[in-house]
Structure 1
Amino acid sequence: MTKFLSRAMTAALFAWACVACSSSDDNPADNTSTDAKYSAIEREYVLYFLDRNPVVATYLGGAALDAKLANVDGRLRDHSASAVAEEDKALANFKQRLEALDRNTLSAAHQIDRDVALAQIEFQLHLHQVRKYQERSLDTYLDEPFRGVDWQLQGMTDTGNGKYGTEAEWQRVIERVTAVRAYLQRAQDQLRAGIASGNTPDWRMLRINGIDSAVADAEYFQKTLPDIAAERLGGPQRDTLLDSVRKAAAEAAAAYESLHQFVASEFFVEVKNGVVDKAALKSAFQADRYAFGEAEYNWALRNNLRLTKPAAQLYDEAQAVIESTQREMVQLSRSIGQERNLTLPADDMEAVRVVFAELSKKAPKDDDEMVAWYRQAGERLVKYARDTGLFEMPAEYKLDVTVTPPPLQGSISGAAYYPAPPFKESGVGRFYVSPTKNKPALLARNNASALAYLAAHEGFPGHDWHYKVMTQFRNDIARVRWLTPGAVEDSSSMWEDSGAAEGWALYSEALMAEPQAKAPNGFYSPDERLYQLKGKLTRDVRVRIDTGLHLGRISFEQAQDLFSQVVDFLPGPCQGATDETKKGSCDDAFGAIFRYSKWPTQAITYRLGKEAILDLRAEAKTRAGDRFSATEFHVRFMKQGTIPPGYFREQFLAGF
């Protein structure tokens, strides 16, 4: 897309978006030399970070940033003890140099950028030296190679006739797959160190990631990747490249099988005929080891997410938020029931379930119709924004909905968004919808009322619009604000980016419910609004569960019960459940709680990120009065990049 926003809009935005650039009016006159010093250190740090974290570099398109990173897509991270120690020395040096700069002589933007860089460095040093997480990050070791290759495949050049990938791109894939064996061997060394020090993964991660994921990854490299290469490879070197892919992939599959055997022998009692009895964990590894602890959680809130409330306060306050959303859902459900002439039970929770059951009857007949409905929901959202003037949008913008490719369907259930690499000029973000294989129960979940808020979250004006606008202004957003220290998305992640990205997406869902001048009832129908509120309720209860889990206020099983009771309005515990509906709810709840147990603080970023945006908007309205423009506010927010609002709140509001 050569011109995403109009020239007039771009010029206007440049004039007032003072936080995204350094203005002499906002900063001391002598800041130039300090800014120049900072810029040099930041560039050096960003390039070092991307070089040390090749999979993150692939995700961000780092190879396009500097010639020094030209071959980064062909590598994997070195997690060896010696490499981590050398990295910590380099990070400590960056920290010292950044702290030596006088913050007060930096421009407003660079003050924020410096704070971001220092927080990232503090996180990485804390992860390695305090938590020593490299000794137990089993899911990181299993997921990182697959994700790296998967992102390479997504970003390949279309070479025509249904073929993808230049010879150079496929060579980088071969190099990365070849690196898997050494990568997983270093992972085993770190896990052994963890066993020796008593710093081991939670037993659920050992069972689910260490056994099941290892087998699935081995199958991916043994069969799926060679099949993809056979389908997509073209050109005169096709046969040679395909042979190299197959050999490298077979070695990678063997390395995953070796890791699987390592986990089985080190952590489990016995293996019979290659089959691991997942219940037979050695006694030393049966205890719960997921809890972050209050001190660690509060440290992460301050350093990683720039939040000031402690975890205990978030836990205590969450219950009132949950109950408020529940009351709103009950009221709306009874209104829908009356409109549809439904006889609803007196019990409020049961009444909500009856209404959802009624709405689920209008389900797509198959996956093709389901995907078509998602596309229609996206088209309606875009038209609504144009009709109401909520956003200034180019005529050529449209929300593309893509069926999830088969290799990704195992990792994407439902809908998801994969952004284009921001450091590259090419690439397209993808709003994926995974087929259900025409299963009636799954099609019912994607009924006519359930799609709109999901399309708003993953598509427009959520992730798709957010990342397209940010990419349009990529040169105004400091490179450091795009980094994802630790990992892109696993238990090693910092989650700094999640507060902005997921906060914006949840804010987008809520924004579509707000009344507008030309739409007094907002975008959603009452039925769609009920599902949007259910999405809100899910994010509300996450704050209670995530903080409760990691502070030891609630057990894993209690969290599972709470999720089923709140999100699905189904009373009773999960243990001993015999009703099929309750059992299905509890299975979903287990998956959710397992994710929260691995990813402390990520689950809270949705609601708290949304609330931070609403707080910014309310204060901006107060300051600007009649001059306030929602269009300007939204783009200006997006131009801050993927960092929490806590970094830029005061400077952001100073422009209103």
Structure 2
Amino acid sequence: MTSPIFALADEYITSYARLDPAFAGSAGIKGDFGVATDYGPDAEAERARLYRETLTRLNALESTGPADDLARLHMAERLQVFVDRHDAGEWRRALKVPYGMLQNMVSYIDLAPRETENDWRLNAARMRAIPEMLATWRQTMNAGIDAGETVALRQALEGAKQARRNAESRVFDKHLKAYGDGSQAADLRGAAEAAYAAFASAAEYLEQTYAPHAAPNDGVGEERYLLAARSTLGAVLDPHDAYAWAWEELHRIEEEMEAEAERILPGAGLTDVIAHLDATEAVETSEEYLAWLQAKHRGALEALDGVHFDIDPQLMNLDVQLVHGSSAGSAYYTGPSEDLSRPGRTWWPVADRERFRTWAELTTVFHEGVPGHHLQIGQSKVAGDGISRFAKVFGSVSGHAEGWALYAERLSDDLGWFTEPGTRLGMLKGSALRAARVVIDVGWHLDLPLPAAEAKRHGDRWNFDVALDVLTTRGRIAEHRAHPEIVRYAGWPAQAICYKLGERAWVAARDEAKAAAGADFDLKAWHTAALNLGPIGLDNLASVLRGK
């Protein structure tokens, strides 16, 4: 496409990359944008000016057809959210543990290319940029202190732990080891040491300077929460409806889990069945775990291609990485670079585990890999000129992406892929976790009472301990993931709801199309049309798909 709207999308990406080189590097955007992002107040204001100016220019352009209509719809919705969040002062709260700034800086290095000596010089430059970037980030956090707009105390203290862990676990040493004793070894070691010192200094800052000013309450309140939900869902949320629906959904899933457990070990009960599977359906070493993950990713790609999806050959390369020393509690995905020279990757935190419960993690392979994030995000990169550059590299909507990934788990069940012992129970357990996330996230941030029957079991009002209890006993999350999950909900309001509410939107859109087409409904064609749209907010998803 060469329309004015698509040209504006191209221009925006290039302009934003200049204002955020770390984002450009992590996203794999080609160009010489430098290596250090300025996260200070003036730079935040400059990025906000870009949002406003682009939105004004977008609104003045005329559409030349359906592709333009879609590009305008998505860009306008995203840019308006960016403007509204900046105006609300959310930029001053630049910390969301365990993801956000501190994790992004680690990913910025992890995603760097390492094929040539020039690539290794780039690695060193990126690591040397970390002290500078953290210094400007402190300026923004200090602006939050001055304005009385700070993150919660728990986030500050957990952020300090995360920063210190980055330093003490020496998160970049794996790259130094990979390089060896070449001509740049000393420079790389010096750059890494500077980064570690900066992380340690950030931890001290959060504990000693920031924490005394941090907000006492974990919850953000309804006004901030609804704005956050617009950002993560691309939709206007009715939080009370979502809260009630999620409790009902959790009860439904729990009943199905009990029935599935009965099929595995009749009469044993769900808790004993889970213990049995933990003891019997696991691998013992990280090497075995990586081999198992790689085999499952490859098997899913081969089973889907040409049958339920037409997978572009460029997406058949999907990398799998284990992550040691990470503070992230769960697996995650990073998409291909803009030019596809860097493949899509799934990342699997090891933490302190010595055994890996494969029965519970197969469903996550389908979520993070295929038919989940890799197909959805990867397809947007290979969809050609029907999707704007904004949508391809910048415009992700968490509710759209995570909703699709959870829909992918459900689809995998429909396809009969959970045949190994306990794996379907693992899928249901994951779905229960996502329903528990909604009740925790909405209830905690809005300080809603628990339903009477639930209050008897867990407590009358939400707090960290009640959230942890619901997550572990109802979401049945793995022990190593529980604490960082709750910390994540506190620091990233309305993100945890994206999975279940996004899945609900995707299923509703598919069922609407199925009802309209009747016997002529083609699931493969519907999947193709849906993924070729690229990202879109949930408020617009059904109407746009209806037009296809």
Q: Which of the numbers 122, 141, 149 marks the counterpart of 2:109?
A: 149
**Residues 42-79 of structure 1: CA distance to partner in whole angstroms, max 9, x if unpaired?**
2222211222222221232111xxxxxx223x422212
1:60 aligns with 2:6: no
In the TM superposition, what is the alpha-carbon distance from 1:328 to its structure 2 partner? Answer: 1.0
The amino acid that maps onto 1:231 is A
The amino acid that maps onto 2:102 is L
Contact in 2 for aligned 1:374/1:451 (Cα 8 Å): no
The 1-side partners of 2:254 and 2:519 are apart by: 35
Change in CA separation of 1:365 and 1:242 when aligned onto 2, cut-off 3 Å: closer
The 1-side partners of 2:401 and 2:158 are apart by: 28
Q: Which of the numbers 434, 451, 458 marks the counterpart of 1:539?
A: 434
1:47 aligns with 2:8: no
Q: Which of the numbers 288, 295, 298 marks the counterpart of 1:369?
A: 288
Contact in 1 for aligned 2:509/2:542 (Cα 8 Å): yes
Change in CA separation of 1:173 and 1:438 when aligned onto 2, cut-off 3 Å: closer
1:562 aligns with 2:470: yes
1:188-203 maps to which residues of 2 (within 5 A)?
188-203=138-153
The 2-side partners of 1:49 and 1:213 are apart by: 28
Identity across matched positions, percent: 24
Q: Which of the numbers 245, 256, 260 marks the counterpart of 1:328?
A: 256
In the TM superposition, what is the alpha-carbon distance from 1:267 to its structure 2 partner? Answer: 4.2
**Residues 544-601 of structure 1: CA distance to partner in whole angstroms, max 9, x if unpaired?**
11111221223232222211221239xxxxxxxxxxxxxx85x743321111111112
Contact in 2 for aligned 1:297/1:311 (Cα 8 Å): no
Q: Which of the numbers 504, 517, 524 marks the counterpart of 2:419?
A: 524
The 1-side partners of 2:132 and 2:315 are apart by: 45
Contact in 2 for aligned 1:419/1:429 (Cα 8 Å): yes
Q: Which of the numbers 53, 69, 84 marks the counterpart of 1:126?
A: 84
The amino acid that maps onto 1:251 is A
Alignment correspondent of 1:640? 533
Change in CA separation of 1:481 and 1:247 when aligned onto 2, cut-off 3 Å: same
The 2-side partners of 1:379 and 1:248 are apart by: 36
The 1-side partners of 2:287 and 2:174 are apart by: 25
Q: Which of the numbers 226, 232, 243 marks the counterpart of 2:179?
A: 232
In the TM superposition, what is the alpha-carbon distance from 1:414 to its structure 2 partner? Answer: 6.0
1:551 aligns with 2:469: no
1:71 aligns with 2:32: yes
Contact in 1 for aligned 2:164/2:200 (Cα 8 Å): yes
In the TM superposition, what is the alpha-carbon distance from 1:322 to its structure 2 partner? Answer: 0.6
Contact in 1 for aligned 2:163/2:200 (Cα 8 Å): yes
Alignment correspondent of 1:348? none
Alignment correspondent of 2:409? 509
Alignment correspondent of 1:287? 216
Unaligned segments of structure 2, at least 5 residues: 449-461
When Rg is computed on C-alpha atoms for both structures, the one with the higher figure is 1
Contact in 2 for aligned 1:616/1:649 (Cα 8 Å): yes
Alignment correspondent of 2:373? 463
**Residues 338-371 of structure 1: CA distance to partner in whole angstroms, max 9, x if unpaired?**
2xxxx43xxxxxx210111122221324333333
1:92 aligns with 2:52: yes
The amino acid that maps onto 1:426 is S
Change in CA separation of 1:527 and 1:184 when aligned onto 2, cut-off 3 Å: closer
The amino acid that maps onto 1:169 is D
Question: Number of matched residues?
Answer: 532
Q: Which of the numbers 475, 478, 499 marks the counterpart of 2:388?
A: 478
In the TM superposition, what is the alpha-carbon distance from 1:191 to its structure 2 partner? Answer: 2.2
1:617 aligns with 2:510: yes
Alignment correspondent of 2:455? none
Where 1:601 maps in the other structure, the secondary structure is: coil
Contact in 1 for aligned 2:152/2:214 (Cα 8 Å): yes
The 1-side partners of 2:293 and 2:186 are apart by: 39
Where 2:279 maps in the other structure, the secondary structure is: coil
In the TM superposition, what is the alpha-carbon distance from 1:308 to its structure 2 partner? Answer: 4.1
Alignment correspondent of 1:257? 200
The 1-side partners of 2:72 and 2:272 are apart by: 53
Contact in 2 for aligned 1:135/1:192 (Cα 8 Å): no
In the TM superposition, what is the alpha-carbon distance from 1:462 to its structure 2 partner? Answer: 1.9
Relative to structure 2, which stretch is displaced further, 392-401 or 166-175?
392-401
The 1-side partners of 2:105 and 2:301 are apart by: 37
1:408-447 maps to which residues of 2 (within 5 A)?
409-411=325-327, 415-421=331-337, 423-435=338-350, 439=354, 442-443=355-356, 446-447=357-358
In the TM superposition, what is the alpha-carbon distance from 1:189 to its structure 2 partner? Answer: 2.1
The amino acid that maps onto 2:203 is H
Unaligned segments of structure 1, at least 5 residues: 1-20, 22-34, 64-69, 157-163, 269-281, 345-350, 486-495, 570-583
Alignment correspondent of 2:166? 217
Change in CA separation of 1:632 and 1:177 when aligned onto 2, cut-off 3 Å: same
Alignment correspondent of 2:309? 391
The amino acid that maps onto 1:500 is H
In the TM superposition, what is the alpha-carbon distance from 1:398 to its structure 2 partner? Answer: 5.9
Change in CA separation of 1:37 and 1:256 when aligned onto 2, cut-off 3 Å: same
Where 2:44 maps in the other structure, the secondary structure is: helix
The 2-side partners of 1:98 and 1:396 are apart by: 32
Alignment correspondent of 2:458? none
The 1-side partners of 2:330 and 2:541 are apart by: 34
Contact in 1 for aligned 2:153/2:214 (Cα 8 Å): yes
Q: Which of the numbers 605, 608, 621 marks the counterpart of 2:501?
A: 608
Change in CA separation of 1:135 and 1:628 when aligned onto 2, cut-off 3 Å: closer
Q: Which of the numbers 246, 251, 259 marks the counterpart of 2:189?
A: 246
TM-score (norm 1): 0.74
Change in CA separation of 1:178 and 1:534 when aligned onto 2, cut-off 3 Å: same
Where 2:111 maps in the other structure, the secondary structure is: helix
Contact in 2 for aligned 1:112/1:648 (Cα 8 Å): no
TM-score (norm 2): 0.87
**Residues 108-157 of structure 1: CA distance to partner in whole angstroms, max 9, x if unpaired?**
222222232223322332333212432553754433432222211xxx2x
The amino acid that maps onto 2:234 is R
Contact in 2 for aligned 1:512/1:524 (Cα 8 Å): no
Where 1:128 maps in the other structure, the secondary structure is: helix
In the TM superposition, what is the alpha-carbon distance from 1:438 to its structure 2 partner? Answer: 6.7
